[in-house]
Amino acid sequence: MSTTDAARLRDRPRTAPEPALRPAAESGPGVEISVWSRLFFDGKALVLRSRGFFGERRETRYPLSGPQGISRALLVFPDAETAGRERGAGEVWLLDSSGQPVGRLLPYQWIPAGGRWLSFEEAVHRSGMSALFKACGIPVDRTTRDRADAPREPWWRELTLLLSPGPALPLWYQALRIAVGAVWFLAFTVLYFSEASLPWLMLLAAVTAFVAPVARLTVRRVTALRNRSAARLDPPPLVEVSPRPGPPEDGGGSTVATRRFVSRAVLRVFPRELSVVDPYGADVRRALSGPAAAVALVRMTGPDGKPVGVELRYASGVRAPIGAWADWFAGPGGEGAWHRFRRAVPLPCEERKVSAVALSHSSLTRGPGAAFPEPRAKEARRTALFPCSIAGRHSTIFMTVTSGFSIWWAPIVRIESPVAAWTSVLLGLSGLLLQFAPWCWHHLRSRLYFERPVTRKDQAS
């Protein structure tokens, strides 16, 4: 296994050869992963493009020959109880000639959309792993977790062997948040249970509380810059299509096109893949060439003969929705946008009639991987929020409490050290401002603009 220096990656071809595994789509920091991360065969070795600890784009090669080269793949199926309890259970181990693990794959990480809802065997096929192993000439064996031939490694070793697209949030940010949280909690515990005022410890708690919102704003800015940089890695798209929604009475269903959807969602056709970007930036990439690619572009029509949706059809019979016709092509200029899109996609175009019963299920045209407006503004605001840290939704609550503590505890140390007290208050107020200002801006933009229904004037512009 060898890693290519990040400075030389600009010399690499922009698109990976097919078949290539594409990661699950995510918004925010995950947009760069959708563009960059791939697992593919370059004719000599398996190549993993991923994101590293500090967010760098790296390329790691796994040889297919030699004493440590990959000689076979082992599908480790979960038992029935685990499969029913954990979505996406099961893993693929890459072994060398002596049976030692070289790498480990989780199929649901390499399915652009809806991977966790598939069985393990279907996930292996839908991710493109089967086609990739066939192209590499890697034989595939099967076993279950409870059998003796299943690999057994410590948890830390399993993490180091994992071939993943990379973390959505940079690991440096996660590590920093854990470190400052631990330091703050230690300082808070000593201050709360100690009878002494300890101004220096109060100041340490205030500084660590202030670092958290600063780090979050930093990672948001870095994410914006890196996403912009990642967009330049793609070749120019053959065509870009923005939504042309029709009025709700023309088949919009329970969803109403919003300004967020019209201004953010887009379909892009590249020479080898289709990009479906939803209103929140998540970029679902689907192959248009190679053994794992779709075989046809399908326009679905209802019982009355009117178009209702667009999808991709695969040789296995699997269908992947792209979007509802009412969301993308039913408005002014929609027919022209459809013809440009159809001509750019290098697949035969088919027509498929669907029944009224099938149309009653929204997943037909708005399933995993399709770009569509959220039915409720509240859900849209929540989905559009920047991803939280390792603490999840409690991250913001924790940051608010820590900054508030800097203000609440300051009077206790004011007599002994006025400088420490006032510094703590300023840091606490600044921390609260850095948290609530972006939150207020997000909600105001959402309520006053993005989640407003689109008008004909908006479409014309």
pLDDT band at 390, cuts 50/70/90?
A: low
Q: pLDDT by residue (tens digit) across 266-323?
A: 999 999 999 999 999 999 999 999 998 999 999 999 999 999 999 999 998 889 999 9
pLDDT at 383 over 90: no
Q: Are 402 and 409 in contact, with CB atoms under 8 Å apart?
A: no
Alpha-helical segments (H) within 90-128: 120-127
pLDDT at 440 over 60: yes
Strand partners, 93: 74, 104
Q: What are phi and psi of 102, to 5 degrees?
A: -105, -35
In this prediction, residue 7 carries a pLDDT of: 39
Mean confidence (pLDDT) of the chain: 87
Token pair for residue 14? 């922009």
pLDDT band at 459, cuts 50/70/90?
A: low
Strand partners, 311: 298, 321
Q: Are 54 and 172 in contact, with CB atoms under 8 Å apart?
A: yes
pLDDT at 454 over 90: no
DSSP output for 217-277: HHHHHHHHHHHHHHHTTSPPPSEEE---PPPGGGTTTT---BHHHHHH-EEEE-SSEEEEE
Mean pLDDT of 207-221: 92
In this prediction, residue 252 carries a pLDDT of: 43
Token pair for residue 98? 């002596």
pLDDT at 166 over 80: yes
128 or 390, higher pLDDT: 128
In this prediction, residue 129 carries a pLDDT of: 94
Alpha-helical segments (H) within 392-417: 394-408, 410-413
Q: pLDDT by residue (tens digit) across 86-108?
A: 777 889 999 998 889 999 999 99
Q: Are 95 and 74 in contact, with CB atoms under 8 Å apart?
A: yes
Q: Are 345 and 288 in contact, with CB atoms under 8 Å apart?
A: yes
Give this prediction's pTM.
0.87
In this prediction, residue 10 carries a pLDDT of: 54
Return the half-sphere exposure (C-beta side, CA atoms, 13 A cut-off) of residue 77.
Answer: 12
186 or 89, higher pLDDT: 186
- Tokens 């029509």 belong to 301
CA distance to 252, 311, 344, 370, per residue, from 241 (Å): 19, 15, 11, 14
In this prediction, residue 250 carries a pLDDT of: 47
Q: What sign does the dihedral 144-145-147-149 (CA atoms) show?
A: positive
Rounded Cα gap, residues 215 and 438, in angstroms? 13
pLDDT band at 37, cuts 50/70/90?
A: very high
Q: Say what percent of the chain tops pLDDT 70.
A: 92
In this prediction, residue 392 carries a pLDDT of: 62
Mean pLDDT of 67-96: 86
Q: pLDDT by residue (tens digit) across 394-438?
A: 677 888 888 888 888 878 877 778 888 888 899 999 999 999 999
Q: What are phi and psi of 157, to 5 degrees?
A: -70, -40
pLDDT at 6 over 60: no
pLDDT at 5 over 50: no
pLDDT band at 246, cuts 50/70/90?
A: confident
